[in-house]
Amino acid sequence: MASPSPTGLLRRGEGMHSASFLSSWKRILLLRETSSLVMLFLVIIVFFSIAPLFLSKENVGVILEIIPELGIVALGITMLMIAGEFDLSVGSVFAFCPIMMALFMTWGMHPVLAVVAALFVGIALGALNGLVTLVFGIPSFITTLGSMLIWRGGVLLITGGWPPPFPTQMSTTILVGKIGILRASLFWFVVVTFLLWFILERTDFGNWMFATGGNQVAARAMGIDVRKVKLANFMLCAFLAGFAGIIQSFRLQTTLPSMGNGLEMEAIAATVIGGTSLGGGVGTLIGTVVGSFLIRIIDNGLIMARAPSYWFRVFIGIATILAVILNTFVRERAKKLRC
Amino acid sequence: MHDHRYLVEMRNIHKWFSGVCALRGVDFAVGYAEIVGLVGDNGAGKSTLIKILSGFYPPDEGKIFFEGQERHFSSPHEARDLGIETIYQEAAMVPKMSIMRNIFMGRELSRMRLGSLGYLDIPRMEEEAMKALQGVGLHLRSPHALVEELSGGQRQGVAIARAMYFKSKLVILDEPTNNLSVKESEKVLEFILELKRQGISSIFISHNLYHVYPVADRIVVLSHGEKIGDFRREETSVEKITKLMVLP
Ligand SMILES: Nc1ncnc2c1ncn2[C@@H]1O[C@H](COP(=O)(O)OP(=O)(O)OP(=O)(O)O)[C@@H](O)[C@H]1O
Ligand SMILES: [Mg+2]
């Protein structure tokens, strides 16, 4: 497969016989996920040695139930960033959709229908981001900075500061039901990861995404409808943000207007830590999954180590910058290795 | 009436850009399996002429015939569907993508379709990409290498291989030897000759007459939006064309 993907390793036919020891090392070093994976292992070891309870069954369960909500949002951001655009409004959509869902239910809508309708609201918000960006030709950073504020304001307006009561008549098993220490949301995270990976790496649409983000002029010259590609990804990204928001509201059994505050920054950090480029055309979903794990593990590990909570932001900041430096540095070095 | 000696014929083409006249009444034709060199000073109108031919702009006046039929291209897509492939130096490739993915960009091979999604047939794309590259004499190690790792000449080769693979009838190259070393330029000239051997016509734009002259069957000279020369190679020489370009 295309080398930006982790699947380069699994290429058929390229045998062990020709690949020397050095070149397989080189391949691993060239993978975009490598530096984030190394950081993840180091962080786990450090937290485990400080607080052995960090790896207890209960705590692993806690970590695994908070990861999907960030991870699903970050996967959407990754797709959009590969296609060359940006979305800062995911945190606001993350709050907007569950509130709409609760509102629909207080109007007497069937719970399943209310969830579906709320997800459509998410898609519509994404389409709006995309259309404004593409029709007026302005940077999506600006469009979504605006819509981030607008939807957050909208959430407060709708709730008037008081969240609608969380409907109790509804079963939440399908999204957040528990089996042992695992929640259903983890399953959904795996499903979303696989589906998006398939679309990105194994379909023509994925190829158009890399082309659109990598060189829009060339993509257009080869007949790719770059606007359609981008619009679809804006919609996908907002849809996933809304979906993750609904998962969180199911888990916490509330819809707070403050949900997802600052989530856009964590999701972008997870994406960048995982090796996706801000410039578009380069990125991997597996890296984003690793980045999401890293962020939530730092979050949880600091609590387990009884560190004051403000350290969280400090560490995420350091991790983000370090991951990008490592990635650039390691790959530059690896390219120079002879094989 | 239309003349069947030509694959493409452009007649009396005019183009204005907000007051600037870029082309004034240019007649331009390309025969079957013919290499036409298009030369002229900066701003002579070469790029404008081929952009009209490849569907980027409509002409303000004039007609275009392709394989004997009059055509009005409203997008580059339409021209490409007819077999007119344009290779721009900067815009031909996505550097961060693999050679294989670049070759099939926008025209991927799929095993099956799920609605509007096509499931890529990667083994076939690998195989066909290698075949296409060998078709122009490019022997690259793997179709998965990134285009950014290729030299400028190799990139031109990949773009030409792509045009050949998709059975283009006319390949337009806008300054393909720009910024290339002597050796790399020679490779590109070799690719262009390979197109001709396979019966594909091409238009080769360059400032360097020493690149155009040895390979072109015919050389067309533009100056200030007008055609001031159209010679078969046998009838002319680099010196004569240079004089013509300098004098008016
Ligand atoms: N999009 C445009 N808008 C306005 N003027 C244009 C545009 N494209 C070309 N021109 C003008 O038309 C004339 C012909 O330009 P063109 O690019 O066709 O020249 P060229 O022969 O390709 O030159 P070069 O060798 O420098 O590439 C120039 O005077 C140029 O300034
Ligand atoms: Mg030009």
Predicted confidence pLDDT, tens digits, chain B (248 residues)? 455 789 999 999 999 998 889 999 999 999 999 999 999 988 899 999 999 999 888 999 999 999 989 999 988 888 988 999 998 877 789 999 999 999 999 999 999 998 889 999 999 999 999 999 998 888 888 899 999 989 888 898 899 999 889 989 999 999 888 888 888 889 889 989 999 999 999 999 998 899 999 999 999 999 999 999 999 999 998 889 988 888 75
**Residue A21: band (very low, low, confident or very high) from pLDDT cuts 50, 70, 90:** low
Nearest to B120 among A14, A203, A281 (CB): A203
Give percent above pLDDT 90 in chain B: 63
Please list every residue in chain A whose beta carbon sits closer than 8 Å to the beta carbon of residue B146. Answer: 2-4
Burial class (CB in 10 A: 0-12, 13-18, 19+), A158: middle
Domain boundaries, chain B: 6-245
- For A250-280, how does the pLDDT look when each residue is reduced to its tens digit (9 = 90+)? 999 988 889 999 999 999 999 999 999 999 9
- The pLDDT of residue A92: 98
Q: Does residue A217 sit at the B interface (CB-CB below 8 Å)?
A: yes
Which protein residues have their CB within 5 A of the ion that is ligand 2? B 47
Within 8 A by CB and 6+ apart from A178, the residues are: A184
- The pLDDT of residue A2: 39
Q: Could you give the CA distance from residue A85 to residue B201 in angstroms, rounded to a whole number? A: 39
Give the other-Cβ count within 10 Å of A296's Cβ. Answer: 22
- The pLDDT of residue A75: 98
- The pLDDT of residue A79: 98
Where b means 16+ CB within 10 Å and e means fewer, A164-173 reads bebbeebebe
- For B23-37, how does the pLDDT look when each residue is reduced to its tens digit (9 = 90+)? 999 999 999 999 999
C-alpha Rg value of chain A to the nearest Å: 21
Q: Could you give the CA distance from residue A297 to residue A71 in angstroms, rounded to a whole number? A: 12
CATH of domain A33-338: 1.10.3470
Residue of A nearest to B119 (CA): A203
Please list every residue in chain A whose beta carbon sits closer than 8 Å to the beta carbon of residue B117. Answer: 199, 203-205
Residue of B nearest to A204 (CA): B118
Please list every residue in chain B whose beta carbon sits closer than 8 Å to the beta carbon of residue A208. Answer: 105-106
- For A104-151, how does the pLDDT look when each residue is reduced to its tens digit (9 = 90+)? 998 989 999 999 999 999 999 999 999 999 999 999 999 999 999 999
Name which residue sits closest to atom 8 of ligand 1, judged by CA. Answer: B48
- The pLDDT of residue A338: 60
Give the other-Cβ count within 10 Å of B227's Cβ. Answer: 21
Where b means 16+ CB within 10 Å and e means fewer, B167-190 reads ebbbbbbbbbbbebeeebbebbbe
The CATH topology of domain B6-245 is Rossmann fold (3.40.50)
Residue A74 phi/psi, 5° resolution?
A: -65, -35
Q: Is B175 left (phi over 0), alpha (psi -120 to 50) or beta?
A: left
Instruction: Report the candidate in A204, A239, A235 with the shortest Cα–Cα distance to residue A116.
Output: A239
Whether pLDDT at A164 is above 90: no
Q: Does residue A211 sit at the B interface (CB-CB below 8 Å)?
A: yes
Please, what is the average pLDDT of chain A?
Answer: 89
- For B217-244, how does the pLDDT look when each residue is reduced to its tens digit (9 = 90+)? 999 999 999 999 999 999 998 889 988 8
Token pair for A330? 């390691």
- The pLDDT of residue A20: 59
- The pLDDT of residue B1: 46
Instruction: Give the ligand with the smallest distance to the CA of B207.
Output: 1
- For B138-153, how does the pLDDT look when each residue is reduced to its tens digit (9 = 90+)? 888 889 999 998 988 8
